Amino acid sequence: MKPHRLCMTHHLVLSYELHKKMEIYRPHKAYPVELAQFHSADYVEFLHRITPDTQHLFSNELARYNLGEDCPVFENLFEFCQIYAGGTIDAARRLNNQLCDIAINWAGGLHHAKKCEASGFCYINDLVLGILELLKHHARVLYIDIDVHHGDGVEEAFYFTDRVMTVSFHKFGDMFFPGTGDVKEIGEREGKFYAINVPLKDGIDDTSFTRLFKTIISKVVEIYQPGVIVLQCGADSLAGDRLGCFNLSIDGHAECVRFVKKFNLPLLVTGGGGYTKENVARCWTLETGVLLDTELPNDIPENEYIKYFAPEFSLKIPNGHIENLNSKSYLSTIKVQVLENLRYIQHAPSVQMQEVPPDFYIPDFDEDEQNPDERVDQHTQDKHIQRDDEYYDGDNDNDQNMDDV
């Protein structure tokens, strides 16, 4: 098996010596017109316009777009959305252009956002935008979600199509957010049987979760034959998460990443939820190592945030101790029902590919219009710096001979 070329569009991992084996890539900030490829233009415009100082003037719009308690308005909200969405969009484009085999955006994975509203701390659904990019080059995209919450925004976006299969493993029941994700939710019309939900109860452990995951994902890949996989690695399914209720260790969580990688398909990996921050950093660091075939030492090296990892200062965390309410018979019933639904898919759907739309919409930047006496902030300067390792068309493409890592 040839080595994987891996690029990362956002560096949110601990300070292990990982960077020597991958390319760190600074993505562009997504433009409003790019965000409107999925989201409604009026919603995007409102996110662009609203600020903490002006939100009291827009009570009706805040309610309409579900901004408030779970999705607060904060300073530089729109720029935040542009950065994480741009990371996933560029990750998809680099995969499409075969500039890497695996692309990571740990800042992405905000899977709850809907076309016209925010939801569950998610404002712009970068996953949907990334998948739309991948569909320009791939007939079938497989989306896998191991966040403790149901990937409802992504499922809803592709509920009526067979070109994207969504598979979500999540806590379901007891009024747990977002309240969707029953095993009976399977898609509609052309998308019937192309939405797969694996509803789980409190306390599932590594053994039960990974066994079910491998069985279902193996069958999905065999039948659906995707051209590319998007894997959302929400870390709130870990033991000890402030909002989660599973018993997964970091090793158990990472085993799912390791398993998906073995299919040797183009792979876009994102973050997602995670509310015990030191364990989120541990998890995505270990999983970056997994994607690089690099085993990391358990002792966390000295860094400016080392105090957060006291007293053990170790990379891995053990299983949790919540009672496992997922009986063998319950998990067997779920597995049988999911596999039975897959039987209705006779073969991988074929798609007549149209002319591929262009990747980029870049507004003109006229240096002559810039005031030389005006101070330019660092973010603006960064946006206009051409880096040697970024992708350009034609003779400026420095990635054409990029070595495998």
Catalytic positions:
112
pLDDT confidence of residue 318: 80
pLDDT confidence of residue 111: 98
pLDDT confidence of residue 353: 62
pLDDT confidence of residue 388: 42
pLDDT confidence of residue 402: 35
Q: Print pLDDT tens along the chain (405 aa).
A: 344 567 776 555 555 556 557 889 999 999 999 999 999 999 999 999 999 999 999 999 999 999 998 999 999 999 999 999 999 999 999 999 999 999 999 999 999 999 999 999 999 999 999 999 999 999 999 999 999 999 999 999 999 999 999 999 999 999 999 999 999 999 999 999 999 999 999 999 999 999 999 999 999 999 999 999 999 999 999 999 999 999 999 999 999 999 999 999 999 999 999 999 999 999 999 999 999 999 999 999 999 999 999 998 999 988 888 999 999 999 999 999 999 999 998 667 776 666 666 665 544 434 344 444 444 455 554 544 444 444 434 444 434 333 333
Both tokens of residue 122? Answer: 């998610």
